[in-house]
């Protein structure tokens, strides 16, 4: 098919970070397919940014593949695929039911695998492209209160880095995979967790705006990078904690206290993301 424009797909782009990433890609001249499990929200995004929308539950590989086919049909090529859809249920794993644990693994981990595989199969013989996987700082370090979520995001890192290596060994050099690992972001995901002590660690750093994370996405689009923590210094900090797990446990009450104070302050202020 003749090349018409650059095509991009963003999963979970009905609200929050995904919506802002879809806007960035549209501003950069991509034809954007906004997808979400909630079609009405995806359509809202598409209308706002001038793209088009499709209902895609990232847990369903057939729906994900249909999105890859739809962008090629509309734009002529798939150049950027952003795996952004994610869910967070807090609490110790033993207090969650099986459905909650399964949901996080299926959306956050298998969803990223589905998107990455569909993108690679579409891009590899068609000029290549860039896959951006939205992981989390929780993909780099232990996060008590968010254990299953952290497990699902560690899977994103392990899978993405290993798949990038497989592409390299297979001499498929026209596809990049970049992971973004943000600290807590002020989006509806965390707004829903303001009264939830188990989510305290998500609030223990300086809360990021979606715009700050979108900026990091823009930077890796310009220059692919396998792992980018946002902010960068938090990436260094959590890797040091990984190396010193006993010290990390001792520092935990301090971090939880900081997070709780931020949660209470945000409740008092009554701010919306
Ligand atoms: N908010 C944070 O503090 C934070 C920090 C680090 C990483 N992240 C990650 O950033 C990404 C975006 O998060 P957000 O804060 O914008 O969350 P959000 O809850 O505001 O938005 C998530 C979007 O994903 C969609 N979604 C949920 N399940 C889906 C499914 N099965 N298929 C397709 N779409 C689905 C939702 O409908 C929603 O539109 C997620 O991967 C999240 O884990 C968020």
Q: Tell me: the pLDDT tens digits for 44-83?
A: 999 999 999 999 999 999 999 999 999 999 999 999 999 9
Q: What angle do CA 257, 263, 267 make, to 5 degrees?
A: 145
Of ligand 1's listed atoms, the one at least distance from the Cα of 192 is: 19
The alpha carbon of 189 and the centre of ligand 1 are apart by a number of angstroms equal to 7
- Answer yes or no: is pLDDT of 1 > 60: no
Taking only the tens place, the pLDDT of each residue in 164-183 is 999 999 999 999 999 999 99
Substitution candidate for ligand 1 out of 13, 18, 154, 190 with most atoms within 8 A of CB? 18
What's domain 6-269's architecture?
3-Layer(aba) Sandwich (3.40)
Q: Which atom of ligand 1 is nearest to the CA of 202?
A: 3
* pLDDT tens digits, one per residue of 206-240: 899 999 999 999 999 999 999 999 999 999 999 99
Q: How far is 23 from 200, CA to CA, in rounded Å?
A: 30
CA distance 11 to 111: 9
Report pLDDT for 5: 84
User: Can you tell me the mean pLDDT for 150-177?
Assistant: 98
Distance 166 CA to ligand 1 centre (A): 27
Phi, psi dihedral angles at 171 (to 5 degrees): 60, 30
Q: Specify burial of residue 231 (Cβ count, 10 A radius: 0-12, 13-18, 19+).
A: middle
Q: Does the pLDDT of residue 2 top 70, yes or no?
A: no
CA distance 152 to 102: 10
User: What is the rounded distance in angstroms from the CA atom of residue 55 to the CA atom of residue 83?
Assistant: 15
C-beta separation of 156 from 133 below 8 A: yes
Tens of pLDDT, residues 128-137: 999 999 999 9
Can you give the pTM of this predicted structure?
Answer: 0.97
| Predicted confidence (pLDDT) per residue in 101-122, tens digit | 999 999 999 999 999 999 999 9
* Letter string b/e over residues 190-229, b meaning 16 or more CB atoms within 10 A of that residue's CB: beebbebebbbbbbbbebbebebbbebbeebbeebeebbb
- pLDDT of 3 reads 53
Looking only at Cα atoms, what is the longest distance across the chain?
Answer: 59
Structure tokens at 143: 């996060």
Mutate to test the pocket of ligand 1, among 10, 16, 84 (most ligand atoms within 8 A of CB): 16
Q: Mean pLDDT, the chain, as a whole number?
A: 96
Residue 257 has pLDDT above 80, yes or no: yes
Structure confidence at residue 271 (pLDDT) = 87
């Amino acid at each position: 098919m003749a090349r018409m424009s650059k095509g991009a797909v963003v999963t979970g782009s009905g609200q929050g970070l995904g919506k802002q990433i879809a806007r960035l890609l549209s501003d950069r001249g991509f034809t954007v397919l906004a997808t979400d499990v909630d079609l009405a929200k995806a359509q809202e995004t598409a209308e706002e940014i001038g793209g088009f929308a499709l209902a895609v539950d990232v847990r369903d590989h057939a729906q994900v593949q249909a999105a890859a086919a739809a962008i090629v049909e509309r734009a002529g090529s798939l150049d950027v695929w952003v795996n952004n859809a994610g869910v967070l249920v807090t609490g110790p794993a033993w207090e969650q039911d099986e459905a909650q644990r399964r949901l996080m693994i299926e959306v956050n981990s298998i969803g990223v695998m589905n998107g990455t595989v569909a993108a690679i199969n579409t891009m590899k013989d068609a000029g290549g492209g860039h896959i951006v996987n939205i992981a989390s700082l929780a993909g780099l370090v232990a996060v008590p209160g968010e254990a299953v979520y952290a497990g699902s995001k560690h899977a994103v890192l392990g899978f993405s880095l290993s798949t990038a290596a497989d592409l390299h060994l297979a001499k498929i050099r026209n596809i990049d995979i970049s992971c973004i690992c943000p600290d807590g972001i002020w989006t509806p995901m965390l707004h829903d967790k303001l009264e939830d002590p188990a989510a305290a660690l998500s609030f223990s750093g300086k809360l990021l705006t979606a715009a700050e994370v979108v900026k990091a996405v823009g930077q890796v689009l310009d220059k692919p990078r396998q792992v980018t923590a946002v902010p960068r210094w938090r990436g260094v900090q959590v890797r040091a904690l990984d190396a010193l797990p006993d010290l990390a446990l001792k520092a935990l009450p301090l971090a939880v206290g900081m997070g709780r104070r931020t949660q209470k302050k945000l409740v008092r202020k009554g701010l919306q993301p």
